[in-house]
Structure 1
Amino acid sequence: MSHPGPQPVERQLPTEEARDLLALVREMAQREIQPKAAEEEDAGHFPRDVFALLSRSGLLALPYAEEFGGGGQPYEVYLQILEELAAARLTVGLGVSVHSLACHALAGFGTKEQQAAHLPAMLGGGLLGAYCLSEPAAGSDAASLRTRAARDGDTWTIDGSKAWITHGGVADFYTVLARTGGEGPRGISAFLVPGDAEGLTAAPPERKMGMKGSPTAGVHFDGVRVGDDRRIGEEGQGFAIALSALDSGRLGIAACAIGVAQAALDEALAYTGGRRQFGRPIADFQGLRFMLVDMATQIEAGRALYLTAARLRDAGLAFSKQAAMAKLFCTDTAMRVTTDAVQLLGGYGYTVDFPTERYMREAKVLQIVEGTNQIQRMVVARHLVGPESR
């Protein structure tokens, strides 16, 4: 019996323009990203040239307004493009998601003057952004952050340290959350800090089990001075800005997770259709066929969940609960699917000669970033039954 092998994912794209965009991304991924992914990840090489190409192609700016150089695409389209990029190489897909997250504060809460001054370069000028919220002692409890910004007339001086910053040390700009008032979430403000600001330094990148090509580093602020024209939103509004950004960022992580899971399923389908044992392809054996079915079903369910949340966002409706659900379900799916893909390839799946072991290592971090999956369960529970009693 012959087996057709993996087929291209059928996308739910609303316009001909979006379908053309997807075709462009698939061609670019197959030509420029996927062939070098394994080698460059093994070497820990950050593909800055790929991000420059994406910027020139308008792919770093898809969900933002055309007025400032954005792509003007709905989140429903942007996330499916993100999934394609992550399937080719998670370092690239996640990097685009983080860049988009770093632009969110200015695009959503900046003044028209701030947006006109900075957004065109951020969205299409070859720049790359990073998002500075987490700290060594403020992870899930982000409202307890200690990095402080002190005002002196029309300038602010920022002191403190951020941790686990994707693109730390290579970003051209940082969206930074810092304390400008008292304790708790109402004392936090947001700032746009240039990557070359005096007093801003990055620690050596963390040594990670996966995504070795994506630098994750601590970022230190030692008397970094920025003008008040780089404060985004009102004083004390920073935590609300951060939460708004994270709702959208969680959808980016969900789409990336489904991209990794789809890549793992495609590898498993190709291998089980070609590997023969006992005189026939191992894809003929019911136990393995059912594993493939479960993997495909989980992926389709995850994709439907993140698209539902995206359509709510595009319609201007509340989507925080669905974003948390999507991040939770899709990243757990990626972990299950990549683990099963390694199992389906047997000993080969455990070797670096096949990409499944890399997919499995990369999937793990997606259950942690943008709020751990335990935090996502807390977010969803609050929507369902209200806040916890104290």
Structure 2
Amino acid sequence: MIPFNKPYMTGDELYYIKDAVTRGKISGNGYYTRKCHNFFKENIGFRNCLLTSSCTDALEMAAILVDIKPGDEVIIPSYTFVSTANAFALRGAKIIFADSRSDEPNIDATLLEGLISSKTKAIVVVHYAGVSCDMDTVMHIANEHNLFVVEDAAQAIDSYYKDKPLGTIGHLAAFSFHETKNIISGEGGMLVINDKRFDKRAEIIWEKGTNRSAFFRGEVDKYSWVDVGSSFLPSDVTAAFLYAQLENLKKIQSRRTTLWYTYYEGLKMLESQGLLRLPKIPAYATCNGHLFYIVCEHIEERSQLINYLKDNGVYAVFHYVSLHKSPFYKTVKDSIKLKNCEMFSERLVRLPLYYELHMEDQNKIINLITSFFDKK
């Protein structure tokens, strides 16, 4: 069976983990945590960042930082992972779901204006598949209405909007290093802080609501509980694993984007024949090779294709069930209809894409998909 995903090890992860242990400090904010922070600042251009135990943690920190309170409204795409909404729902926010574009799963920025009310506090955008949302439109609308923008960039490492790295455009951004992502640490994430107003408080929230970091820098004579917070920072063992990955960022990205474009070239004839739809990369966006998907004609065809691939030794999967259709959301609000989200939920198929996917296996997948549609 060709798996959907296989975590890639560069070869130095265990060496750096051993080094972290030898240094005698494996709790959070240690030697490798600082090395990761510096890497992101120096190589990608993040203004300020903090590693977290997950992207979910980073999103929860963002919700605290923009001061979400019960009754505030937060606009979020429905076609996303539950963490995007949960982080803000936990603070008491009313989630206002937005539809996707018709040509790709990202949020339709042209709909935002109609979703804003006097209670709106923030807009959360998700760069699906590492492909940027229309950030000029999003930021223009947010600035006009004095709203915060949070980028859920879980899938978007080393991807760009025009010449700007994703994660550097909104007030805050959250990244994931889960084992299914391009750069991994098993579990793990990061908060990027683009607005200097949040710098001091972000560090306090990160350190369980204490000024512990300031104490270790000699800025205060003792540390104590000064704000809300939680244990958001990861072990330095996790950071050591991540640093080995970061050193190989260019190599990993080169391989993944090669695989992405191989799929695209191998399947574009089927799209030209009107048999399926391939991912769209808008002119303002780049492709970071995070995932490759195809869009079938209807849900029955998708199920048939997934089963056909499985029967022939290939594990392909669908993706999100739109959050506005979830059992939890239906308990708190009447049903709404978001036709594009629902279309992608019913028709999108993700294909295997990981660093060690062999070319002959990828060709097998392309040939199987071609034969499936030829038979139809």
Interval of TM-score (by shorter of Structure 1 and Structure 2): under 0.3
From the two aligned structures, give the one with the greater helix fraction: 1
Please report the TM-score for the alignment, with normalisation by the length of structure 1. Answer: 0.25
Please report the TM-score for the alignment, with normalisation by the length of structure 2. Answer: 0.26
